[in-house]
Amino acid sequence: LSPTRFLPFYGMFCLTNLSDMTRAHFVVNLREHFALPMFWLQILFVCVYLKSVTYDAVSRVGKNCIRFCIFWFTFLFMLMWQFNQFAMLFQAMAIYALSVLKLITLEKAILLFFIHLGGLVAVFVLQFFPKMLLSSILVTFNLSALFSLYLFRRSTHSGGVVAGFCKLATQILITIITMVLFTFLLKRLLGVESDDHIFKFLLGKFGFSNVRDFESRVYLCHDAFSFLSNDFFLHTSKTFLFPLYLTMFSGCLFVIGKDLLTQWCDLASLSNNKYRQFFTTDYFERRADLAFLVLQSVIIGLVSLIVTRISYMWSPLMAVLATALLCSEDIWKTLPGFRNRRQYIHMFQLLVIVAILGYNSVLFYNRFQEEMKDLREFWDPDTVNLMEWINNTTAPYASFAGSMQLMAGVKCCTSRPITNHPHFENKQLRDRTKDIYQIYARRSAEDVYNILKKYNTNYIILEDSICRAKRSGCTIPELIDLENGHAPDSRHLWMSMGLVQSKERRFCTAIENMDESFARYFRLIFVNRTFRVYQLL
């Protein structure tokens, strides 16, 4: 998009907006940290593929290498992140929009859609055939997009504003209808329920789902899935990232809209020589890569407003486009007064870049100095103590139950069997987790014992940080109480919900007394400041 020498300017945006660019510096062990670099590399090769000037100049072997790289990085990204179908859906929507607007050829769009589907099929095989992937919204959208684009392959944008708009609206409507039909048919044929919690979550974001539903509340209560806060826009505006991106986004949408209107009304042929240059529509036909990034960033940005976690995909794209706005000579040449004045362009670019770099250096110098002094190391002696005890004391086949996060650690550090898995994109695993989490509910010792035995559990690990957490309406004990129809401790937050007051004590606190009703089923065998481990008798 811009010369390589301006890469430090992009780096400046990444450093000054680091908290909005990645979560790697405060949440290390996330799959997205391994997946997103593959996503950015995939986008790079897609841009090369879409930019006709660059792609057409490449040899046949080079073109095949570019296509392979797109597939390879698509596959790696999908393999590493469970939310890959949504990230690729945003990209598929942008590609579909480019094809509908006639900014790329039908052949290029079809190839990219088939690469998405091919990557998904490869992941389906390597991940032991999860049917959810075959009925995912990415598959149904790509199939409906292919059907729609083929159906309207001979359609043109001529005929006037009304006719052009009606053609465009009809094509989009047919795509949506066929996507819904494909989704319904595939889910029925494959019997898939594994992604139901995602749709429950989306409905819950706008108050249309059962607020007592455990699966949706787990997401709704997580900060990463909350609405994007105003602080994001304040942070990014302070560094000039958001204003520059907004300028780039607005300008590109204006040009795309102008080009569409020109084609609908055939303004290029009606205009005299003085204004004909204004009504040309060749810029984004040459720079489809730029249009692709803008459209993809718009789609990701809209989703980021609903789900904060997606903003970590939006911010890097904002930085790319903001850098391109200031550093791309090709973009500046489209502005009135700069068309044939290369020297003035370079001078103006230099002045603006130096001003923004200087401003951010002064503003963030002290913060950078503090961050460089902030040296940390892993320090969690209670967890280390627990894992060492499990390795040294328990049998290799002994199975454990507890919170999803802790079970991930137990599996990773000890290789012991676990009864509930941190993977949430499976209906059976979600149901099992709800059962195991009865250890934090108001249930009798016998009830909990029978549930745990059903899953061949040998040990349970209780965490005081969960059991005794300050009640806010979003703690695990409260979510389980709501799922069970019991009034949680913060009952004032849940009035008129049809909840009943349970007569049972909360299991995780009542077991500490180890009276006769508990001693028949459980025995305390390990305890430290954070964890309590009980053996099932």
- Give the domain-ending residue among 339, 371, 403: 371
523 phi and psi, to 5 degrees? -140, 130
Q: Using 50, 70 and 90 to split pLDDT, how confident is the model at 275?
A: very low
Same domain (yes/no): 187, 121: yes
> Which residues fall within 8 angstroms of residue 44, CB to CB, at 6 or more apart?
none
Query: Residues 254-261: what's their mean pLDDT?
Result: 80
Same domain (yes/no): 37, 111: yes
Same domain (yes/no): 407, 331: no
- Give the domain-ending residue among 342, 371, 400: 371
Same domain (yes/no): 417, 358: no
pTM, 2 dp: 0.87
Q: Using 50, 70 and 90 to split pLDDT, how confident is the model at 99?
A: very high
Whether 138 maps to a domain, the answer reads yes
pLDDT confidence of residue 428: 82
Same domain (yes/no): 358, 385: no
Whether 134 maps to a domain, the answer reads yes
Same domain (yes/no): 366, 446: no
3-state secondary structure of 398: coil
Question: Which pLDDT tens digit goes with each residue over 397-414?
Answer: 999 999 988 998 999 899
Whether 376 maps to a domain, the answer reads no
Q: Using 50, 70 and 90 to split pLDDT, how confident is the model at 417?
A: very high
Domain that holds residue 35: 4-371
For tokens 């044939």, name the residue.
340
Same domain (yes/no): 285, 313: yes
Same domain (yes/no): 63, 113: yes
Q: What is the CATH number of the domain that holds 455?
A: 3.40.50
- Give the domain-ending residue among 307, 342, 371: 371
What whole-number percentage of the chain has pLDDT above 90? 35
Question: Which pLDDT tens digit goes with each residue over 65-94?
Answer: 999 999 999 999 999 888 888 899 999 999
Whether 247 maps to a domain, the answer reads yes
Whether 195 maps to a domain, the answer reads yes
Nearest to 304, CA basis, from 11, 17, 90: 90
Please give the structure tokens belonging to residue 311.
């903003």
Number of structural domains (the chain) is: 2
Asked whether 10 and 321 are in contact (CB, 8 A), the reply is: no
pLDDT confidence of residue 57: 75
Buried/exposed code over 384-397 (b: 16+ C-beta within 10 A; e: otherwise): eebbebbeeebeee
Query: Residues 174-187: what's their mean pLDDT?
Result: 91
Same domain (yes/no): 33, 169: yes
Whether 396 maps to a domain, the answer reads yes
Any idea which of 272-276, 306-310, 377-381 has the lowest mean pLDDT? 272-276
